[in-house]
Amino acid sequence: MKILDSSIAAEVADQLLEIEAIRLQPEKPFTWASGWKSPIYCDNRLSLSFPKVRNLIKENLVKSIQHFFPEAEAIAGVATAGIPQGALLANDLDLPFIYVRSKPKGHGMENMIEGKVVPGQKVVVVEDLVSTGGSSLKAVQDLRNAGFEVMGMVAIFSYGFGIADDNFKNADVDLIVLSHYEAMLPRAVARKYVKDEVLNSLADWRKDPAAWNPQ
């Protein structure tokens, strides 16, 4: 995992906290579908409702693609949250846009990939959030199976789990994120969303979320 710039990582985290796209509740943790207890809930879809934040994200994802993947020939969004972000980027970059379903459409052509499939085309995948990387990398594999050359992936935010780093490395996919959990914590303290004394517990969660105990 790489970031475009540390100051951008802080700014994006700050804005996501301000609009409550990122919510922190270390004393009353959220429960994920996996059963993990989590002090954080991240819903980057909210950024679409705030033009200032939406544009901040769009402009820096565009810069990320231009810097890390200048040979990109198409943009692919991951359903569902990666679709609007990817469409915005493709429009600014004047590139074709496609998106990848989580499962084939149950009628008609039963497509997994919506849009023009061009085998050999160099594509960058767009996600809103990366946790373990499972669903994101499934989309990458679906694109590869269809004949695309996946150059890498860009995302708004990552929890920074070690297992995600391993999964992306094993899949041979470069991941670029605008911000991540480690960059977010100092901004949360500065905004008084959390207290200094819970930082150790919050850091422990990222290291081993399955075993994390908020007490």
- 147: annotated binding-site residue? no
- 105: annotated binding-site residue? yes
- 130: annotated binding-site residue? yes
For the chain, what's the residue count? Answer: 215
- CA distances to 95, 142, 166, 181, 189 from 138, rounded to whole Å, are 23, 6, 15, 23, 35
- 134: annotated binding-site residue? yes
- 34: annotated binding-site residue? no
- 138: annotated binding-site residue? no
| E runs forming strands in the chain | 2-3, 22-24, 30-31, 37-38, 40-42, 74-78, 97-100, 113-114, 122-130, 149-158, 175-180
Give dist(CA 176, CA 193) in Å, integer. 27
- 137: annotated binding-site residue? no
- 54: annotated binding-site residue? no
- 67: annotated binding-site residue? no
Give dist(CA 155, CA 65) in Å, integer. 11
Phi, then psi, of 21 in degrees rounded to 5: -70, -35
- Strand 175-180 and strand 122-130: the pairing is unpaired
- 142: annotated binding-site residue? no
- 135: annotated binding-site residue? yes
Give dist(CA 86, CA 92) in Å, integer. 10
- 101: annotated binding-site residue? yes
Select from 170, 171, 123 the least CA-distant residue to 148.
123
Q: Which amino acid is at 113?
A: I
Residue numbers belonging to the annotated binding site for 5-phospho-alpha-D-ribose 1-diphosphate: 101, 105, 107, 127-135
Residue numbers belonging to the annotated binding site: 101, 105, 107, 127-135
Residue numbers belonging to the annotated binding site for orotate: 131
